[in-house]
A and B are shown apart, each in its own frame.
Chain A
Amino acid sequence: MATRTSLAQPDIAPSSQQSSPAPTWRQRLRNWDYKYSPYLYISPFFVLFALVGIFPLGYTLWVSLHEWSLIGGKGEYVGFANYSQVLDQRNFWIGLRNTFSIFLISGITQTLGALLLAAVLNQNIRAKTFWRMGVLGPFVVAPVAVGVIFNKMFADRAGLINTLIEGIGLDPVGWHSDVLASHVAIATMVNFRWTGYVTLIFLAAMQAIPRDLYEAAMIDGASRVRQFLSITVPLLRPTIIFVVITATIGGLQIFDEPRVFDQTGQGGASRQWMTVTMYIYELGWGAQQSFGRAAAVSWILFLIIIAVGVLNFMLARRIASTGGGSNAKPKTAAKLKKDAKGERTVS
């Protein structure tokens, strides 16, 4: 707001000083400067975005409407034949199932784990900075390196985890044969890398919560757990929504971890852990070398992500406006906040 008014002022000033209707070259330049330079300043992002975002998007659409071979290049125009072809494929639907399943398993455990970890790090512990930076450790490890290490751990027979499981007298888990087990294993890899990152986001948000809320709650006799559930979590809501939305966008495009989960990288003999992006890669660069079909799946995935994103957004708005709906906990928090404000002078 402030910038807009200051921009408008010089516009008026020259015309009121001089009566001549035609502005000088200088004035015109200055005028343009005020009008257009803000757009110029932000344009690098948009130019880059158009180049690496919009153009590939449009080009992919163009490719998806043609027969298009990796080496042979463009073939005939086929309309939406590529789309109907891939929608008929069992593997496409298996890929979609796997993608959502891995995303849900990793997303939910990751968000909850990060929340708890952040709450612990937010306490007054020794060597705070060390622990806070420590959680970021796994994040700097390359995903493929994580894959190699976890593959050794999750090997069906000689792996560390199955050896432990057998050690306590249970049957070994078929990490590379069972659908759900493979999803859990991959979600573990994903979480290993990303939980620390999300933790730091939560931690930053937690530090912004006013301490007096906790002090008031403590005086009222609320336990640590109660404080966490009634103050921390409700006040973190915007951050949680942010994390969930970004996690959705990333999670639906998961590729590296499932790709390196075995040697062939095709997602298992019954496609137990083949995700949609792996399917895209297989169609385009695998045996079929059909860029047309790969592009069609890319666009379907793009639309799915948009749909899920919009759904997320609507849910988030609903939660934000109703203040938690029937849930009693956020109300308690609001009350606590009010109490706190009542006791102290509001700054």
Chain B
Amino acid sequence: MPTGRKSAYIVGAAALALIATGCGGSGDDGASDGKVTLTVATFNEFGYEDLIAAYEAENPNVTVKLKKAATANEARDNILTRLAAGSGLSDIEAVEVDWLPQFMQYPDKFVDLSSADVEGRWLDWKVEQATTADGTLIGYGTDIGPEAICYRADLFEAAGMPSDPDAVAAMLGDDWDSYFDAGRDFAEKSDVPWMESAGAVYNAMINQVAYPYEDEDGTLTVLDNAEVKDIYDQVLTASEDGLSARLSQWSDDWTTSFQRDGFATMACPSWMLGVIEGNAAGVEGWQIANTFPGGGGNWGGSFLTVPTQSEHPEEAKALAAWLTAPEQQISAFQSKGTFPSQLAALESSVLLDTENSFFDGQPTGQIFSDRAAAVSVVPFKGPQYAAVNDEIQQAIARVDIDQSDDAASSWSTFESAIAALN
């Protein structure tokens, strides 16, 4: 608060600037002797360490430097800043599917990666996510997050409901009505809430709507979209019926709730298994139902892009294509568990034979491979998607988590917030 804070900021900013300029000067590796140095920037764990050594051995003229950001947000801020600055990006930048809409507005900042060699390599919807309206492919798919329903078999059993994965999958059915009906049934027999929060289920449901908030030409249609309002009402009715644990995802209360019978079911993408295992250590009973209401869903996943800033776009493109080939992604899956998006990889025996001991030895590879095949809709996410989605999630949270508002008045607050976006 006193001047100390201000000067600390200045010193910090100056230090950051120095670091930034220091890192930015990586374009000095000339290709005079035919040797090329490529930088690959990823975040979290992509499992590329061993692969890169193998690539260098196969291609002696290429040296690859791997840069890893600790978190996805850090990587996103870095890419945004350097895109804006016009320099300093790596030759290959890993991008999360959630940020893609922002980058798709500027296809000229990325190399068009479409090529006959990679056609038919991925699940259709994975390719569609990274393809702009005029057919430019800005990223090669790496991993995906196909969603199933994870549930507490012990709590189901205590409530006198079916608890075997197949029986649960049949009970939950494949639309959201049957999911909520099962929840109401469960609520009568158990004190444990059915789902984490209304917002978490909304997130799963909205990702099955083809045009949730915008038209192709960027016009906001969310306020006239009956489908969105309907989903909003459905999840909040379920919350009103006592199905929601009213826990904001990733909050401390949410994390703690895994140890305290916080809720009975959750939508879980493949990468969520590790999160559940970590938070629910020592809790027995988590299982996976091989179904997803509403017809398959995907949450998360990444792409490798080649920014036009790269000095060696051809070599970078070749490396990106190699890294995202099925064989390499299977090896990444083996080392870090990233679920592959390549058709051939999804059929590989290594993947299909994978079992998870925390989830009672269930064949997680087979389950999520099925779930990936079930995804049929890729929602259109235009430039305003993130802004609208934040607003509607907050509208739901006001009713469900904060309980400071009712569904109708929170919706009208949402409407005025949308009007203010323009």
Contacts and interface: CB of A to CB of B under 8 A. Distances in A.
B109 to A, nearest CB: 7
A70 B394 contact: no
B318 interface: no
The 5 closest A-B pairs by CB, nearest first: A287-B387, A269-B397, A250-B1, A177-B402, A246-B2
A106 B1 CA distance: 10
Contact of A52 (B14, B77, B102): B14
B10 A52 contact: yes
Interface stretch (B250-258, B321-329, B363-371): B250-258
Nearest to B3: A246
B6 A285 contact: no
B134 interface: no
A197 B4 contact: yes
Nearest to A85: B420
Contacts of A243: 2
A198 B260 CA distance: 42
B248 interface: yes
Interface in B255-273: 256-257, 260
Contacts of A76: none
A52 B13 contact: yes
Contact of B77 (A110, A197, A247, A285): A285
Given A198-B2, A250-B6, A251-B1, A155 B405 contact: no
Given A73-B84, A110-B1, A287-B388, 17 more contacts: A52-B13, A70-B80, A71-B109, A91-B417, A151-B252, A177-B403, A190-B1, A194-B1, A249-B6, A250-B3, A251-B1, A263-B250, A266-B390, A268-B402, A269-B401, A285-B80, A289-B80
A72 interface: yes
Contacts of B260: 158
10 contacts: A71-B80, A71-B109, A72-B105, A91-B420, A197-B4, A198-B2, A246-B2, A249-B6, A250-B5, A286-B386
Contacts of B416: 90
B387 A286 contact: yes
Contact of B253 (A107, A157, A178, A197): A157
A265 B248 CA distance: 13
B32 interface: no
A49 to B, nearest CB: 10
Given A151-B252, A269-B402, A71 B83 contact: yes
Given A71-B84, A90-B416, A243-B2, A263 B248 contact: yes
Contacts of A262: 248, 251
B401 A270 contact: no
A339 to B, nearest CB: 35
A201 interface: yes
A190 B2 CA distance: 12
B249 A263 contact: yes
A49 B248 CA distance: 44
Contact of B402 (A73, A88, A190, A270): A270
